[in-house]
Structure 1
Amino acid sequence: MGKLFLISGDIIENSKGMDAVVNAQNKYMDYGGGICGAIYRAAGADLLDYCKKTYSTNMETGEVRITSGFNLNMDIIHILAPVSYEEKDPINKLMESYDNLLESILENHYQKVIMPSIGTGTFAYNHEDIAQPLMEKLNNFCTNNNVAIYFINRYPLYTNIYLKELINIKNIDLKNDLIKCDNIKKYLEDNNLINLNSKALY
């Protein structure tokens, strides 16, 4: 059985020791903003050069492409999320993209992967709308496979949205299960609900 960790902070700062990092890619596989830009900067110019030379077609929605991480010293799993307002059934379409992502993790035998919440930037998905189905999907995946997923959001405010849903999915009653407030941090960490040792918390 694997583990699902929810963490806050910078995806690059927290990627040490991972087998792969997930990139919320644009269809051109070009230098972008947000997570995509951070990964391209950390990987170095060779990543952009490789993508330009290797891929002659744009990515399709939900498509996964895997490259070397170059300076990152881990693979990069590039995925193109759907654009929320362009889809008739945006939530299910996004979950299908996550299915493709998780399948690629298994096919490539990755055991430690750090991933952001894809689609919640310029592609306009709301964290509140996707948290429940996504946490259920990732929790089931980690329960049934020997993979550790580090699900990261830059701000604790967003991480807490997913944490709330994960607690509900695991049927944990914090009020009854915890005797002291001082035990909350340890309890959440012991139950793989959150990892508070991540870097760049703000």
Structure 2
Amino acid sequence: MRITVLHGDITQRRVDAVVNAANASLLGGGGVDGALHRAAGPELLAACRELRTTGLPHGLQTGAAVATPAFGLPARWVIHTVGPNRHAGQTNRALLVSCFSESLRLADSLGAQDVAFPAVGGGAYGWSAMHVAQAALDAVTGFRVSHPASGLELVEFVLHTAEMEAVFRDVLGPLR
């Protein structure tokens, strides 16, 4: 599995799956969540509403992941995950790692060969770039060990700021 780090717009990535740093409601929001919803079109919101009425009436739990079609995005799927909100007192690092781990597991189970991640938890939810990059490193390392026959060939970290990109490059450097 190759790991890449780049500065860019995750809504433009031509990969099998893009990961959405969603909120628990799955009904859109700001940051990456809002950008993905806008780029995917209203069908993404409709699919998320369907998830809420059929299997997730209370929303998506922190650290969990669920997939929808990607609709207007150049990807096949959107994998939604909810990071812990540090500003709201959710400081359990294991939940942050779980966002990355569960998204990797779900991407693999969907048959994805490549997946693009944002800095889950690193925006409005208040986790530092270093904490997010370390969580991503732990998740990727753990996934490689626990899923040696995975079909995932490429994991991209698509960062919105040059600062976040630099931290991810430093932390994930040994994996690349």
Do these two structures clear the TM 0.5 threshold for a shared fold by scoring above it? Answer: yes
Tell whether the 8 Å contact from 1:136 to 1:166 is kept in structure 2 after alignment.
no
Larger Rg: 1
Q: For 1:110-132, what per-residue CA distance to the aligned partner results, in whole angstroms no more than 9, with x for missing partners?
A: 11111101011111111123323
Q: TM-score, normalised by structure 1?
A: 0.74
Q: Please name the residue that 2:27 is paired with.
A: 30
Structure-2 change in CA distance of 1:123 and 1:153 (3 Å): same
Structure 1 residue runs of 5 or longer lacking an equivalent are 171-191, 193-202
Higher relative contact order (CA 8 A, sep 6+): 1
State the Cα RMSD in Å: 2.0
Deviation at 1:63, TM superposition (A): 1.8
**1:51 to 2:57 alignment:** no
Structure 2 residue runs of 5 or longer lacking an equivalent are none
Tell whether the 8 Å contact from 2:121 to 2:132 is kept in structure 1 after alignment.
no
Moved over 6 A (4+): none
* SS of residue matched to 2:72: helix
Q: Please name the residue that 1:177 is paired with.
A: none
Q: Please name the residue that 2:11 is paired with.
A: 12
* 1:24 counterpart letter in structure 2: A
Tell whether the 8 Å contact from 2:23 to 2:82 is kept in structure 1 after alignment.
yes
Q: TM-score, normalised by structure 2?
A: 0.84
**1:149 to 2:155 alignment:** yes
- 1:1-202 → structure 2 map (5 Å cutoff): 2-13=1-12, 15-16=13-14, 18-56=15-53, 57=57, 58-73=59-74, 74-85=76-87, 86-87=89-90, 89-139=91-141, 141=143, 144=148, 145-147=150-152, 148-167=154-173, 169=174, 192=176
Tell whether the 8 Å contact from 2:120 to 2:132 is kept in structure 1 after alignment.
no
Tell whether the 8 Å contact from 1:3 to 1:142 is kept in structure 2 after alignment.
no
Q: What CA distance in whole angstroms lies between the structure 1 residues aligned with 2:137 and 2:51? A: 34
Identity of aligned residues (%): 25
